[in-house]
Structure 1
Amino acid sequence: MPNNIIFLKNKTTPLDKYEIESKDNKYSDVQFLPLIAHTHHPVEALNLLRDNNYLNSLRYLIVTSQRTVECLNDSIIPTLTDEQKKKLFGLSVYTVGPATGDFLRRVGFQNVKGDDMGNGDKLSDFIIKDIGNDYHGEILSFVGAIRRDIIRKKLTQNGLAVKEVVTYETNVLNDNLDRFQNVLIDIADKGECDGKSCCWVVIFSPQGAKDIVNFLKQHPTIKDKLDLKVSCIGPTTNDYLTKNGIDPQVVSPEPTPDSLLGAIDGFEKRSNTPISH
């Protein structure tokens, strides 16, 4: 079993379940390599949530990114009054993915829905069905500066008004490949698996991964000292990798730590099973 795993993502604060689950699965060296930087943009959201008339009329919120939850937790919620916080935490909050759902609940939201839907298209269908005839006013959707338009478009096509407010933006870091290579060199020097070091690289998104994917595709000389395997989260990232010449050993069936690490563990067990003749 490899001892090293590299997550190509920003580490979620205050805790990251990928780190917790990895250590529970006996990975002794768990590293996070951020590929993008996030900048909070709380002003427009603050103006709305501090407006008691608007807040009292609001019933539905869409939050599909952990980056938005971080913006809420760090830059918005601490500035609200106790009454405003109470109202905000009582809203119906629609989200995608258990990690974002759990984060919302830890922050204080009491009515989180849809975190088992898996993607924006399914979440849209869930919102339409969940709201049904109980629709009042607009739905406030907190989004990133760059986002896919699936949820807003589908909801508006079904007669629901959606107000999108940007809460963060992302920018690709300019030294991703250098930092990635340095991490691999450190791991390769350990030489833990028959003279090689065993390591999984987990790719979460195409954003910021271009140089690293090209590096992996070129079969660098470091591979002589490194048993390197690639896993990814989600069909979009898998499609990106295969189109760029990388065939991941593992594609996580679901965007969760349990699903990812279970799939990796299954791959490792199959790889280590002797072939019967």
Structure 2
Amino acid sequence: MRQMRVLLLKNKTAQLDNYEVAFKSNGYETFFVPLIAHTHVPEELLGLINDKDYVESLKNIVVSSQRTVECLSESVLPKLNSATAEMLLSKTVYAVGAATEEFLARIGFKNVKGGKNAGTGSILADLITQDLLEQGQEAARDSEILSLVGQIRRDVIPNKLSSKGFKVKEVVTYQTVNLEDNLERFQKVVSPHSWVVLFSPQGTEEILLELKKHPDTKIKIASIGPTTEKYLNENGIQPQVVSPKPDSNSLLNAIKLSEEN
């Protein structure tokens, strides 16, 4: 019996990709189809962190993407002296999703919050608000929160935090551009009955048009969460699976449950 094929429309995470581990260990044939290229832009962040007064006063960091963690791991931490690196790694970091939380812990951050309990930016913003206000209202609002983001991002976290009176400083850590041959690389590995997993709308336009042209191929579509599901619906596609949380085990279990029914 042929292995079920899963196409992950994402860049493979550096060091360890939890999606590959989860699906391969459960007998799936996995393929990564990167749709976008990431470029680290660490300069502004390095300028801040190398300011001793700033890094000493910094208490809380927000990280919503594994791409930011890659920038920290590959383009920021190696350029810091040991004392500054240790100081940065001691800061409280609020993360979106379990995979981002795990990646932050692997590169040395000692106090990571949210993560598996905050699968979306909106949930994380509520968690941060509750957590910081419990520490004391005035102190929490006097301290600036450093939010590390990509050039293309949604504004849910800073908008919610700002509406509660918190100061948020956004610093871009990476840029993204669509790759030119997304459809061609997708067509080389897709097959009938494949699962196609979307992690983000970016770079998927041609692939969605192709899927809509051939509705009889029995290809099944999974969305990593409600934002991508909404994008699919707006483009006339209803995914068979929406992962209840944006992590590998939730996605795997949702797909396995769908196959059983």
TM range, normalised to the smaller chain?
Answer: over 0.9
| Corresponding position of 2:227 | 236
Contact 1:2 1:198 (8 Å CA) reproduced: no
| 1:156 is the counterpart of 2:157 | no
Which one is further off, 227-236 or 257-266?
227-236
| Corresponding position of 2:250 | 259
- Name the amino acid aligned to 1:137: S
Q: TM-score, normalised by structure 1?
A: 0.88
Mapped to 2, the partners of 1:150 and 1:14 lie a distance apart of 29
| Corresponding position of 2:184 | 178
Identity of aligned residues (%): 51
| Corresponding position of 2:7 | 6
Mapped to 2, the partners of 1:249 and 1:137 lie a distance apart of 44
Aligned ranges for residues 212-251 of structure 1 at < 5 Å? 212-219=207-214, 223=217, 227-251=218-242
Could you say which structure has the larger radius of gyration? 1
Root-mean-square deviation (CA, aligned residues, Å) is: 1.5
Alignment coverage as a number of residue pairs = 254
| 1:146 is the counterpart of 2:155 | no
- Name the amino acid aligned to 1:61: I
Which one is further off, 166-175 or 125-134?
125-134
Mapped to 2, the partners of 1:149 and 1:248 lie a distance apart of 25
Superposed CA offset, 1:171-230 (max 9, x none): 11111111111222xxx4xxxxxxxx5421111111111110010001178x3xxx4221
Q: TM-score, normalised by structure 2?
A: 0.93
**Matched position secondary structure for 2:11:** coil
Contact 1:49 1:84 (8 Å CA) reproduced: yes
Structure 1 residue ranges, 4+ long, deviating more than 4 angstroms after superposition: none
Unaligned runs of 5+ in 1: 189-196, 271-277
| Corresponding position of 2:122 | 121
Unaligned runs of 5+ in 2: none
Residues 84 and 229 from structure 1, CA distance in 2 versus in 1: closer, same or farther, beyond 3 angstroms?
same
| Corresponding position of 2:199 | 204
- Displacement of 1:2 in angstroms is 4.6
Contact 1:180 1:212 (8 Å CA) reproduced: yes
| Corresponding position of 2:112 | 112
- Displacement of 1:78 in angstroms is 0.6
- Name the amino acid aligned to 1:264: I
